[in-house]
Amino acid sequence: MTQNLKPLKIAGVGYCVPETVVTNDDLTKLYDTSDEWIYSRTGIKERHLVSGNEGAVDLGEKAAKQALEKSKINPENVDLIIAASSAPPKLYPAIACQIQDRLGIPNHVPAFDITAACSGLIYGLSIAKAYISSGMYKTILIVATDNNSRLLDWEDRSTSILFGDGAGAMVVTESDDGVDDIIAIDIKADGTLGNLIELPLSGQNCPLVEPCENHKQYIVMNGKEVYKFVARVLPQYVEDLISNADMKAEDIDYLIPHQANLRIIHAVQERLGYSDDKVVTNIKYYGNTSAASIPIALAEGVEKGNVKLGSTAILCGFGAGMTWGGAIVRLREGIC
Ligand code: COA
């Protein structure tokens, strides 16, 4: 039996980063490090961090508003909200529910969070694709937002140098012209590598029973092993994604990767044989903003004129889990 799958349109993309900037030189006030060490290993010069009571929901709200404006869709017409965050500031209510409240999206619309760390946007997009294809929902808001800086051990110089805060959002709808903006999408996970990046949520057992181990509630990462794993897996994965879609690297205009480490981005770039103008990087100014990094790179790339719309792009990301994923997408005029 053939199914009548509905095509998906990427209708709007938005982003938001906090105003406060912390440079590599600033970090030398916290521990023994240098701009040269950080920049040469990661490509990062500075990052935007939340300050005061600002948090992932505030950033996500602004990014979502921008994406809705670009898509010319009113909040009343959203019929599903998916939020992706590496570590929501509250496990409940979900970020998605809080954004529903703030944007005035009707109070019967379903809203939930997903945890796929830095692959969150791609995971969210794949869920949205399944819902839209099946006809179950027509207009979905995906918000990817993270305030990593509150979850770092600021005495751990090998991890805290890497992350920044930010949010990105995408509005996707059922396409009205028959064209599907998702040319290909794929997600993966390997739970055997879960110990490479962890953020334990601690707590106490009932005082009447044997106490449990107490963990620090910080991001704990084996950076070297993460690097080795991703540098080995990601370039081949991206190449396979393209060939499984019966395409060639040269058929795609841009690579918009998760911004975790410039050397990893260069490894993928090299495999695809892309010149610098085809690869979107902003890690220098934002660090690793987790789930938000791909939509920030896309929307900011368009804003700066580095990404021309009416084009195609390959998005790819990886993160704790380990999770990873990729999508080949059409970028229509006017989406950001
Ligand atoms: N400044 C100066 N020295 C530092 C430092 C810092 N900020 N952080 C670590 N060092 C030191 C270490 O203590 C170590 O010293 P030692 O040799 O005397 O023990 C030395 O630098 C090398 O440390 P190492 O951890 O082996 O460095 P590295 O070359 O692997 O680089 C990362 C570390 C984290 C930059 C790199 O592994 C990385 O980017 N990994 C990927 C992580 C990632 O992308 N995570 C997010 C996934 S979504």
Cβ of 260 below 6 Å from ligand 1:
yes
pLDDT of 14 reads: 98
Which residues, given as ranges, of the chain have pLDDT below 70?
Answer: 1-3
* Per-residue tokens: 219: 């991001």
Q: What's the predicted TM-score (pTM) here?
A: 0.96
Cβ of 115 below 6 Å from ligand 1:
no
pLDDT of 215 reads: 81
Q: Which of 148, 288, 316, 336 is catalytic?
A: 288
Which domains, and CATH codes, for the chain?
8-174 (3.40.47.10), 182-331 (3.40.47.10)
Cβ of 226 below 6 Å from ligand 1:
yes
- Ligand 1 mean position, distance from CA 158 (Å): 5
The answer to whether residues 276 and 254 touch, using CB atoms and an 8 Å cutoff, is no
Report which protein residue has its CA nearest ligand 1's atom 23: 158
pLDDT of 61 reads: 98
The C-alpha atoms of residue 245 and residue 105 are separated, in whole angstroms, by: 36
pLDDT of 4 reads: 87
Q: Give 229-298 as a DSSP string.
A: HHHHHHHHHHHHHHHHTT--GGG--EEEE--S-HHHHHHHHHHHT--GGGB---HHHH-B-GGGHHHHHH
Report which protein residue has its CA nearest ligand 1's atom 9: 158
pLDDT of 243 reads: 98
The C-alpha atoms of residue 33 and residue 45 are separated, in whole angstroms, by: 13
Residue with tokens 């209708």: 11
The C-alpha atoms of residue 117 and residue 86 are separated, in whole angstroms, by: 4
pLDDT of 315 reads: 98
Those residues whose C-beta lies under 8 Å from the C-beta of residue 276, and which sit 6 or more positions away, are 269
Q: What is the pLDDT of residues 58-100, one digit of tens each?
A: 999 999 999 999 999 999 999 999 999 998 888 999 999 999 9
Cβ of 231 below 6 Å from ligand 1:
no
pLDDT of 87 reads: 85
Q: Which of 258, 261, 282, 336 is catalytic?
A: 258
Active site residue 118: yes
- Ligand 1 mean position, distance from CA 121 (Å): 26
Which alpha helices (DSSP H) does the chain contain, by range?
24-27, 35-42, 56-71, 95-103, 120-134, 157-160, 223-244, 262-272, 283-286, 293-303
The C-alpha atoms of residue 115 and residue 77 are separated, in whole angstroms, by: 25
